[in-house]
Chains A and B, each alone.
Chain A
Amino acid sequence: GAVVSQHPSRVICKSGTSVKIECRSLDFQATTMFWYRQFPKQSLMLMATSNEGSKATYEQGVEKDKFLINHASLTLSTLTVTSAHPEDSSFYICSAPHPTVFEQYFGPGTRLTVT
């Protein structure tokens, strides 16, 4: 099946620093990608929709200046957590809908720990 990768899989950073997470669709082009965060034993919460060639669309309550999204190409979207704080520690997951088959593929996730 189609593969979506994420990098890094785990990152630890100090409070106040910025962290970039990459999401790549490896064998199909994705004009849209989605970014989620997931707290322990909770479901996925959609943060934003990443659109190739245009601005990301953020869900209500998500700070766009804190969570910068760039859809650089048809296979790459990045999420940058700026000025990270301990409360930003979470599991971040991206997904990409396949362009021709009605399926959406998820990356393996990135665990962010802010100390």
Chain B
Amino acid sequence: QKEVEQDPGPLSVPEGAIVSLNCTYSNSAFQYFMWYRQYSRKGPELLMYTYSSGNKEDGRFTAQVDKSSKYISLFIRDSQPSDSATYLCAMTFTGGGNKLTFGTGTQLKVEL
């Protein structure tokens, strides 16, 4: 079993839809949770990070963490074609040497 599981997709939605992206993890030591967006042939770009259970909102993006269920989500409201990319969840813990453990990434396509 992988430490971090993420549905690879592809996920295709119409413009304006709400998108839900999810990851589950098995290592209860993980404390910090991040979502990265990666466009084709580019490096990942940090979208959001959280370190506690609950919700964190930034514009159209909401990150949700449920440590009791070992489950994190990223919601994208009013999705746009420019949101089409691969979304990677990543996580780490204090004392982990800043090493990130990534999910496999979910490929998202927002269609006009």
Q: Is the CB of B42 within 8 A of A43?
A: no
Q: Is the CB of B99 within 8 A of A49?
A: yes
Check A43/B43 contact, CB under 8 A, given A49-B97, A102-B32: no
Q: Which residues of A contact B97 (CB under 8 A)?
A: 32, 49
Cα distance A105–B45 in the bound complex, in angstroms: 7
Cα distance A82–B102 in the bound complex, in angstroms: 27
* Chain B CB within 10 A, most for which of A43, A104, A109: A43
Q: Is the CB of A109 within 8 A of B105?
A: no
- Set B41, B45, B49: member contacting A102, Cβ < 8 A: B49
Cα distance A104–B99 in the bound complex, in angstroms: 10
Q: Is the CB of A46 within 8 A of B99?
A: yes
- Interface set of A (CB-CB < 8 Å, partner B): 1, 4, 6, 32, 34, 41-44, 46, 49, 91, 93, 95, 97, 102-109, 111
Q: Is the CB of A93 within 8 A of B44?
A: yes
Across the A-B interface, how many residue pairs have beta carbons closer than 8 Å?
A: 52
- Interface set of B (CB-CB < 8 Å, partner A): 8, 32, 34, 36, 41-46, 49, 51, 88, 97-100, 102-105, 107
Cα distance A6–B44 in the bound complex, in angstroms: 13
3 smallest beta-carbon distances between A and B, as pairs:
A106-B43, A97-B98, A43-B104
Q: Which residues of B contact A32 (CB under 8 A)?
A: 97-98
The minimal Cβ–Cβ distance linking B72 to chain A, given in whole angstroms, is 16
The minimal Cβ–Cβ distance linking A50 to chain B, given in whole angstroms, is 12
Q: Which residues of B contact A93 (CB under 8 A)?
A: 43-44
